[in-house]
Amino acid sequence: MKIDILSLFPEMFEGFVNTSIIKRAIDAHLVEVHIHDFREFSNNKHKKVDDYPYGGGQGMVLMCQPILDCLKSIVTSESLVILMSPQGRTLNQTYSQELSLEKHLIIICGHYEGFDERIRDYVDVELSIGDYVLTGGELASMVVCDSIIRLIEGSIKEESHEDDSFSSGLLEYPQYTRPFEYDGNTVPDVLMSGHHENIRKWRLKQSLLKTYRKRPDLLIKKELNEEEQKILQEIKEND
């Protein structure tokens, strides 16, 4: 996969592309990440990229020309162009999985008070990471990239993300490691039993219990199998 990010602040990505799983995926040639400073594409002698909005209003608006000239220099028939915007569809695990199968993503990061509406004509998807506003799209684009890159085959062990919260439509079950006892709290006995089927059933019940208590809205969307329905009914009766 190739990911191109258009930003006014490429330095913000230095730590992101040189740390942890992202760096390992890049070093293993599983993904290419390129950051483009679209200020360099400005045809203004002062490299100006924004201007006052027509009709008046607060703040400055990003101009079409620098962003679109930058975009046109890298876009291909295989590109999916994403605009980070609080008006876009909200990112979730299912969509991250879909995006991880794309060959080429181009992500545009806005800034200031917004961008010229005509930029939307060149975009395939508007994407948001939540119902709030950031000073720019850089942090949001990193969230999107992180959620995608970890799903690319070879980035991490497949089993490591198969049980992630939301991957199965449920929240993840509790996890424990050494020591067995800390401050009077011990690891559940079933996890020490070595009985894989009992452990599986315990984890499934804990996932359903967490989801029922913390995110019941997810249960409305999920098609439960017979085993899950039975466990959920027991949870409701005993909660």
Question: Distance between CA 44 and CA 19 in Å, rounded?
Answer: 35
Choosing from 86, 116, 138, 228, which is the catalytic residue? 86
Choosing from 113, 126, 146, 163, which is the catalytic residue? 113
Question: Distance between CA 147 and CA 90 in Å, rounded?
Answer: 13
Task: Take residue 169 and report the two structure tokens written for it.
Answer: 């439509």
Choosing from 37, 102, 126, 164, which is the catalytic residue? 164
Choosing from 10, 39, 50, 150, which is the catalytic residue? 150
Task: Go through 87-108 and write b for each residue having 16 or more CB atoms within 10 A of its CB, e for each that does not.
Answer: ebeebebebbeebbeeebbbbb
With CA atoms as reference, report the closest residue to 235 among 213, 215, 218: 213
Establish whether 113 is a catalytic residue. yes
Question: Distance between CA 64 and CA 10 in Å, rounded?
Answer: 19
The H or E element that residue 2 is part of is strand 2-7
Establish whether 164 is a catalytic residue. yes
* 169 touches 221 (CB < 8 A): yes
Q: Is the peptide bond before 179 cis (omega within 30 degrees of 0)?
A: yes
Chain-centre distance of CA 79, in angstroms?
18
Catalytically active residues are 86, 113, 150, 164
